[in-house]
Structure 1
Amino acid sequence: MSDLLARHRAVMPNWLALYYNEPIEIVGGKGNRVVDASGKTYLDFFAGILTNMIGYDVPEVREAVERQLATGVVHTSTVYLLRGQVELAEKIARLSGIEDAKVFFTNSGTEANETALLLATYARRSDQVLAMRQSYHGRSFGAVGVTGNRAWKNNSLSPLNVHFLHGADRHLAQFRGMSDADYIAACVEDLRHVLATAAGGDVAALIAEPIQGVGGFTMAPDGLFAAYKEVLDAEGILFISDEVQTGWGRTGSAFFGIQDHGVTPDMMTFAKGLGNGFAVGGVVARGELMDALHATGLATFGGNPVSMAAANATLDYVLDHDLQANAARTGALIIDGLREAAPRLPIVGDVRGKGLMFAVELVDPATGAPAPALAARFMEESRKAGLLVGKGGLYGNVLRMAPPLTLTAEEAAEGLGIVVAALETVAAEVAAP
């Protein structure tokens, strides 16, 4: 492994992050577990950054891909009819709840967000966009511009004129202790003030994650985006919901994260879990917005026949097995267990989440300050115990976890036990003289 790591460092960029002091190579997987090159097995609570949505080596997905490969057609491009693309678009349009919806497929969430921003700025003839503080929307030029997290921004240059809003930052002193209703009212007042002061004329859109992924699974209280949308609608401003991490029933309480706010957006972007590891992203939007562009367009790899086969099989599996309900059940087991353990763990500043999308925020027990070093220490301890988790948050101190939606109750209990035990170990080390 040290040889592979040395080779990686010689040819890959320094900013390409690797987890763990001794990074692992995953060489096998089955169900909700993976195996590294040394033969060690792990229960996977991060799923390739929420991408292996229904686990590993799923027969339905594998067989669908093999059937497509057997035709000899791996690629044609969107200049030809693609049956799998049309079938998947029909399903997504129906599930979205968006009126007269149309779908455009891309390769990733970053590209999906770029497309949505293009549609919005074209429709509104404006480069002004609203986004949320602590947000993350991808690594391309435009997507970085609407990302509100300095750790993921290499410069301040942007093709867009962006204004950032409150909504997922209740830890700030001016909001701490507020009720949901009071916080929503304060955020809406801030939105009105931004429109009256910082924005110059028409604004194209608000882009927002219902639950912030890289932001450490921070989220607006349910109803905030409905309150925002009243203001947006009055101004003609479009609303883009970034569902790259919250889509397909992951939150348990809704099939798309924005639905918890009682809102149907003008557009939704998606990616990650839809292909269960195969590259697919896209935008579902009102037909009039999607059709409005005057220039010719295509996607060389978007809607790729192999990816479409995987995505159709994955989405069918999610629906046929009611994995949204499973996410609600197993997620509640874990979140309730974490909240029960938190009071005796002074390093835990917060436990939050919905369904199979949950996080633990680690703090210095003496000061309450974010403790990224403790998060790094936890990562090593949980890995040693056979559990893979993720890390994020504005300050790098949040353990974020999103197991496959196929997680069983037994696996949920197993993972919860490892997380709590690892937190106990780290807390004991901090308390030791």
Structure 2
Amino acid sequence: MTDLHSRHQAVLPEWLALYYQNPIELTHGEGRHVWDAEGRKYLDFFGGILTTMTAHALPEVTKAVTEQASRLIHSSTLYLNRPMIDLAERVAHLSGIPDARVFFTTSGTEANDTALMLATTYRRSNQLLAMRNSYHGRSFSTVGLTGNRNWSPTSLSPLQTLYVHGGVRYRGPFAHLSDAQFIEACVADLEDVLGQTRGQVAALIAEPIQGVGGFTSPPDGLYAAFREVLTREGILWIADEVQTGWGRTGDHFWGWQAHAENGPPDIMTFAKGIGNGMSIGGVVARSEVMNCIDSGSISTFGGSPITMAAGLANLSYLLEHDLQGNSRRVGGLLLERLRAIGAATPCVREVRGRGLMAGIEIVRPGTDQAWPQAAGQVQEAAREGGLLLGKGGGHNTSVLRIAPPLSLTVAEAEEGAAVLERALRSV
């Protein structure tokens, strides 16, 4: 592995992050497990950044990809594409957006880029609202509205971005308030921000649960309250469901549904889990918004027949096996276990999450001060114990991120929690 690591360093950018002091090469996977080049087996609690949604090497997806590859791998959107239309019909129906149109991309970054193009074109404005601590991708435009400084390498942007409170419940100036008071204060902050703008704002983009930000979320109903203000001003609501979609939160199929009192978003983006590792992203919007583009366009790789075949097979498996229900049941048990562990561990400030989307915030004992070094040590110790975890957070990546495939079993949840408990105690 030392040779492969040195080759990586010699030819790839320094800013391309690698986990672990001694990075590992994953060679194959099955179910909820992966193996490295040295033959070590790991329980995967991060799923390639929430992307292996159902299972590694899921036979139904493998078969669909193989069969489609034997017929036609690529055509572009210049030709009728049956798998793309089939998947678009299913996604449009599941989105809850009336008279929906779907555009496929190759990543969540590109999906959010497209959503921004739609919103700014529809509203004839480059002013955007975003949440503090947010993350929406690595392109020039999405970095320009990312509110998490750890993932925003430049202050240059084609957008004028205004940041509002609400994405982080238990840090910041409103942390001491009750849920109802928190929502009221965030709405007042939104009103104040809008009162400082000239011209019209195009849209608010928000993750229902902030992913890279450390799996933080507002109280249910915040974005419904925001929506009342946005609707009054004609401002669009973009729900970034790249990490929260497809039933991962357990309680809902989409994260926005925890804030659904005023209906679905105007625009919704998705990616990651739908392809189970294949490169699929996309945008869903009501027709008048999607069709506001007055020039021709195509996508060379978006909606590729082979990725669409994978998405269809993966989505069918998820629905037929009620993996949203499994996420709710197994995720609920896992969160209970993690909270019990956290309560007995001085360096754990908070265990938070929903379904199979959990975050453990690590701080210096007796303080609220982030402790990224300790979080890194826990991640290393968990790896030694056979468990792969992610990291994130708005305070120097001090949050352990847990997001296994949605087919996780109770026994595997218990196994992973036991490894994590030992890793935390080692710190």
Q: TM above 0.5, one fold?
A: yes
2:248 matched to which residue of 1?
Answer: 250
Equivalent residue of 1:406, what SS?
Answer: coil
* 1:357 to 2:357 alignment: yes
1:179-215 CA distance string (max 9 Å, x none): 1100000000000000001x21211000000000100
- Out of 100-109 and 415-424, give the one that drifted further: 415-424
Give the distance between the partners of 1:206 and 1:176, measured in 2 at CA: 22
1:217 matched to which residue of 2?
Answer: 215
Give the distance between the partners of 1:404 and 1:79, measured in 2 at CA: 34
2:147 matched to which residue of 1?
Answer: 148
Give the distance between the partners of 2:375 and 2:152, measured in 1 at CA: 22
1:331-382 CA distance string (max 9 Å, x none): 0111011111222111000000000000100000043310000000001100
Give the distance between the partners of 1:194 and 1:368, measured in 2 at CA: 28
- Out of 149-158 and 15-24, give the one that drifted further: 149-158
Give the distance between the partners of 1:176 and 1:401, measured in 2 at CA: 24
Give the distance between the partners of 2:318 and 2:101, measured in 1 at CA: 21
Give the distance between the partners of 2:346 and 2:176, measured in 1 at CA: 19
2:418 matched to which residue of 1?
Answer: 417
TM-score (norm 1): 0.97
Give the distance between the partners of 1:368 and 1:191, measured in 2 at CA: 27
The runs of 4+ residues in structure 1 deviating greater than 3 Å are: 170-173
Deviation at 1:123, TM superposition (A): 0.5
* CA 1:314–1:173: 2 relative to 1, 3 Å: closer
Deviation at 1:168, TM superposition (A): 1.9
1:139 matched to which residue of 2?
Answer: 138
Equivalent residue of 1:69, what SS?
Answer: helix
Identity %: 56
1:399 matched to which residue of 2?
Answer: 400
RMSD: 0.8
Give the distance between the partners of 2:366 and 2:185, measured in 1 at CA: 30
- Out of 242-251 and 335-344, give the one that drifted further: 335-344
Aligned residue pairs: how many? 424
Deviation at 1:176, TM superposition (A): 2.5
Equivalent residue of 2:201, what SS?
Answer: coil
1:68-125 CA distance string (max 9 Å, x none): 0111x11000000000000000000000010100000000000000000000000000
Q: Show structure 1 runs of 5+ residues with no match.
A: 427-433
Deviation at 1:173, TM superposition (A): 4.8
Equivalent residue of 2:55, what SS?
Answer: coil
2:92 matched to which residue of 1?
Answer: 93
1:51-73 CA distance string (max 9 Å, x none): 011111111000001110111x1
* Aligned ranges 1:315-330 → 2 under 5 Å: 315-330=315-330
2:124 matched to which residue of 1?
Answer: 125
1:375 matched to which residue of 2?
Answer: 375
* Aligned ranges 1:23-422 → 2 under 5 Å: 23-71=23-71, 73-197=72-196, 199-262=197-260, 263-395=263-395, 396-422=397-423
Q: Show structure 2 runs of 5+ residues with no match.
A: none
Give the distance between the partners of 2:39 and 2:354, measured in 1 at CA: 33
**Contact kept? 2:169, 2:217, Cα under 8 Å:** no
TM-score (norm 2): 0.98
The amino acid of 1:145's aligned partner reads G
**Contact kept? 2:169, 2:216, Cα under 8 Å:** no
1:150-197 CA distance string (max 9 Å, x none): 111111111111000100233435222211100000000000000001
1:12 matched to which residue of 2?
Answer: 12
Equivalent residue of 2:245, what SS?
Answer: coil
Equivalent residue of 1:206, what SS?
Answer: strand
Equivalent residue of 1:104, what SS?
Answer: strand
